[in-house]
Structure 1
Amino acid sequence: MDFFTNPNILFYIAAYLIGSIPFGLLLAKTFAGVDIKSAGSKSIGATNVLRVVKETNPSLAKKLGAATVILDALKGTLVILFAMSMGMSESTLWAIAVLAVLGHCYSIYLGLEGGKGVATGLGVYIAIVPIPTLIGAAVWIICAKVLKISSVSSLLGLTAVVVSAVLMYDGLNIGSNAPLYIIAFIIFYKHIPNIIRVIKGEEKRVI
């Protein structure tokens, strides 16, 4: 019974379950009546929400895309902020961060399928390493404006977060950069199909 009353374990479970909530799928179904799991890239993220809903309702697509980014980020941020308020250790916070991203990318509600993890990764990073995350967000926005390729912009922004955090923090205050790298690896791994399409010159632009 101690297992289910251990605050660390409870936070780990909550992080994964909350991270697993597919907000993009729910928003698109509720407000646009479309199933993004069977259209576009079949991802549950904001880019696919924008792409699929835009076909029938461009103005709604922008709103739902923005809402998806915000909610996907918040499901990582809020759990960590609550854990912080409860005095959880730095190592526990990073474990929560990894599990929230895993939940989004491998959702228990979708048969362990999910999104690419960018917004949720942004959400957990901003709570623990805010300055590097703001640097990464700026890189993301600039690249998105210039390149207009969501996947490339996201990965460049992610790389900027990781590099900045490594330079600014000494082992993330836990003696290791491993959690930072694990989250980045998960997100890069989920983007392998996008990376292949970029190499082939087939990756679609977001207009």
Structure 2
Amino acid sequence: MDFLYNLNVQFYLAAYLIGGIPFGLILAKVFAGVNVKEAGSQSIGATNVLRVVKETNPSLAKKLGAATLALDALKGMAVLFAAQYAGLSESAQWFIAVLAVLGHCYSPYLWFEGGKGVATGMGVMAVMLPVETAIALVVWLIAAKTIRISSLSSMTGLLALVVASFVLHPQMFHAPVLVVAFILFYKHIPNFVRLVKGEEKRVV
């Protein structure tokens, strides 16, 4: 167990465990008395929190949705900022970023189920690739206002981030970016199926 005394390993564990905290589930249960794992898309993310809570309390739904979005993004960012302060290498920081997203998508507190990873993914990318993330957020915002389908808007923003990373940093080792993109894409496969069937709900 000596490896647990290694600083990098400690940060890797922290990234996964903190990334796995299901803030959406906690907030919805505490403040709205609903279990988002048993309603809507059964996701713990901000969109499902907004959709489920809105059925009984529209004004509270917006607050909880925004809080879920912020906390899901910040949990990955917090570990990365701490890692930078501790002087961890860039490669270690990228590993932390991937683990934070994995923690959210496959939470150890929910029997390795979780959310779609968009907010956490954008949070860690904002630290590692701030310009690309800003571009992705603009694309996501435009898509969200026009398409009004959360999953499709998110994937459009993700695509913009990946393309921007190759354009702005052609010499960078892109594997971590592609791994995060693959995780988010994989978690959205059920949404793509619903899109094809015409069953994916719009955000109203």
Q: Quickly name the TM-score band, shorter chain normalised.
A: over 0.9
Q: Which amino acid aligns with 1:123?
A: G
Shift of 1:170: 3.6
In structure 1, what is the Cα distance between the partners aligned to 2:149 and 2:170? 33
Percent identity of paired positions between Structure 1 and Structure 2: 64
2:202 to 196, 201, 205: 205
Q: Which amino acid aligns with 2:2?
A: D
Counterpart position of 1:77? 77
Shift of 1:2: 3.2
In structure 2, what is the Cα distance between the partners aligned to 1:93 and 1:113? 24
In structure 1, what is the Cα distance between the partners aligned to 2:171 and 2:9? 23
Which residues of 2 match residues 115-194 of structure 1 at below 5 A? 115-172=115-172, 176-194=173-191
* Number of equivalenced pairs: 204
Counterpart position of 2:114? 114
In structure 2, what is the Cα distance between the partners aligned to 1:76 and 1:61? 23
In structure 2, what is the Cα distance between the partners aligned to 1:103 and 1:197? 25
Counterpart position of 2:54? 54
Which residues of 2 match residues 82-93 of structure 1 at below 5 A? 82-93=82-93
Query: Which runs of 5 or more structure 2 residues have no equivalent in the other structure?
Result: none
In structure 1, what is the Cα distance between the partners aligned to 2:123 and 2:57? 28
In structure 1, what is the Cα distance between the partners aligned to 2:136 and 2:52? 27
Deviations 1:140-191 (A, max 9, x none): 111001011000000000111111111111443xxx2100000000000000
Shift of 1:201: 1.5
Q: Secondary structure at the match of 1:115?
A: coil
CA RMSD after TM alignment: 0.8
TM-score w.r.t. length of structure 1: 0.97
Q: List structure 1 segments (4+ residues) > 4 angstroms apart after TM superposition.
A: none
Q: Secondary structure at the match of 1:160?
A: helix
Q: Which amino acid aligns with 1:95?
A: F
Q: Which amino acid aligns with 1:182?
A: V
TM-score w.r.t. length of structure 2: 0.98
